[in-house]
Structures are given as C-alpha cells and as structure tokens.
Chains A and B, each alone.
Chain A
C-alpha cells in the first residue's frame, strides 16, 4: 500500500463507514462494504485522472457498493426502530445518533445515500454528480428527507 492510499484511507474511512452504516444499519455489514469500497479505491487509484475531485470519486464508489447490496441475501434493515422512549428520561446523544442512523436506513435506498452525503457536508452540486440527478432535484429531495427526519425526531423527543 502506498502513502497516497494510506492518506486517503485515514481521511475517508470514517466518512465512508458512516455512509455505509446509514445505508444498512448494521455495523459489521457496513464495515464489509466500506472495506470493499477501499479495495476498489486501492485498485483503481493508479487510473484515477482527477476528472472529479477525489472525494466525489470515492463517494461514488462507496454509493455504488451500497446499491450493489441488493444482491446479498442478507436481511434488509427492518423497521424495528424504537419510536417510543421506554422511560421518561431524556435520550442521550448516543441514543439520538443511533436513532438517526436507524431512521436513515428506513428511507428509500437512494434517499439514504443523498441524505448521508448531505450530512457529511458534501456540496449539493457534488451530491448531484455522485448520484446522477440534477442539482435542483437534489435540493428538493434533501429538503423532503430532512423534513421527514425532523418529524421523526420530534415524535421521538416528545
């Protein structure tokens, strides 16, 4: 493994892992997809021509590895999300984070990718490039997804 790859790996591992986790909502499975993504990055890096930014390129690879998961006969994230809080105490930050990832994993597959990229602070123009839809469409969809998530959070925190 060369230094360039090691740097990319260190910079992007958490970001790619988060994208995969939000897609499948299963830590081990997400790790597998993230590793497969970096294998592709490692194999294709010598051919990378900088036509798009390196980040866009890596997120594209990761998104496509996520989409490819329909071929795996593993369970699809179930909607066993706790929408009710078991006791009256305020949910912790960890609980909220878990809830957020569960909520995202319940969205339509491509919405999961779009919102994950948005939350990762990727520019909307780049998200449009990664997913292959127009910028206007990206904007509208992000808005709708955020609304959905906010509604779920409002119910969760009540």
Chain B
C-alpha cells in the first residue's frame, strides 16, 4: 500500500530535542514538593483548629457532658475530613500504568468510583458530626445566658447550620459528583471505544 509507506515516512519526520535526564529528576522533585505542600497545608490548618478546641476544653474546663461530647464530635468531624482528604489524593497516584489500555481504563473507573463513594460518605459524616457537635457544645454556655439571648444564639447557630446543611452541603456534594461523574463518563466512553468495535 503506497499511502502506508508515505504515512510512515511522514510520521518518522517528526522529531524533537531530547531533554536532559536531569529534567526528569527535577520534575519528580517538584511534583513531590507540590503534592506535599498541598497535603501539609490542609492538615496543619485543620489540626490547628482541633488543637484550639482542645485548648478551650483545657482552659475553660466545661462541666457538662454535652460540652465535652460536643468537642469530641467536632474533633471527629475534622479527623473524618482529613481522613477522606488524605485518602482521596493518593488514591489515583497508586494506579499502575503497566497494564493494557483496556485494563488501565477499568482500573481508573474503579478507583474513581471508590473516590466518589468515599467523598460522599465522608462529606455527610463531616456535616453530621460538626452540626451535632456544635449544638451539644453550645448547651452549657447558653444555659448561663438569659433566655432571649440563649434563643438568639441558638437561632443564629441553627440558621448557620441549616444554611450549611441545605445549601453548602448539597452544593459541595454536587460539585464533587459533577467532577467525578464527568471523569467516569469520559473513562466509560474510552472503554466503549475498545469494546464496541470488537
């Protein structure tokens, strides 16, 4: 086939300078640094919040069991978030590139589904723990207030939680879903390209 030879010839004409292998080492280092920075920032920030809450417990010595359980729940919420965050980042980094494309796409699909499941469960857990924790935590301090002020404080908090529950949470979950669904869909289409024409 004459066109075949032509195509192969044209194909081989495309060349580019070979980058130094040192560039590869630099690339690995910068990728690791960026990844580490991202993980460290998120962890430090939330762990500081947790430490702050523990210090509040230590210095103000709450008397009610509700306050203490509130604090524990808020810290659990933070840990749940961090767990999910730290799990989902390396999930895709673990993927192996050495299989055939068809198997690789299957692997990506299953990893993305795992990530979707994890994020969904963890986001719900985070909001439930945080809202319950906050409600319990406030009881002791509200009891010390006069009734109208107590109602006002709870009203504000309830409003804030409701805003989170009915607006922020669905929005967060929807965003996560859209992103992962989009990718799952693309991986599906790619897989179909390999199965459809068999």
Contact = CB atoms under 8 A, between A and B. Distances in A.
Contacts of B23: 35
A71 B98 contact: no
A96 interface: yes
A18 B7 CA distance: 13
B8 A111 contact: no
Interface in B7-41: 7-8, 10-16, 18-19, 21, 23-25, 27-28
Contacts of A67: 101, 104-105, 108, 190
A110 B7 contact: no
Interface residues of A, number: 58
Nearest to B182: A70
Contacts of A130: 100-101
A133 B103 CA distance: 10
B98 A153 contact: no
Given A64-B104, A100-B11, A129-B100, A146 B190 contact: no
Most interface-central of A5, A44, A100 (chain B CB within 10 A): A100
A133 B16 CA distance: 31
B59 interface: no
Contact of B193 (A96, A111, A146): A111
Interface of A: 1, 5-6, 9-10, 13-14, 17-18, 21, 27, 31, 35-40, 42, 44, 57, 60-61, 63-65, 67-68, 70-71, 93-94, 96-97, 100-101, 108-111, 113, 116, 119-121, 129-134, 137, 140-141, 146, 149-150, 153
Given A70-B186, A132-B100, 16 more contacts: A9-B18, A9-B21, A13-B19, A35-B23, A63-B101, A93-B10, A94-B13, A100-B7, A101-B14, A110-B101, A132-B104, A140-B197, A146-B4, A149-B3, A150-B7, A153-B6
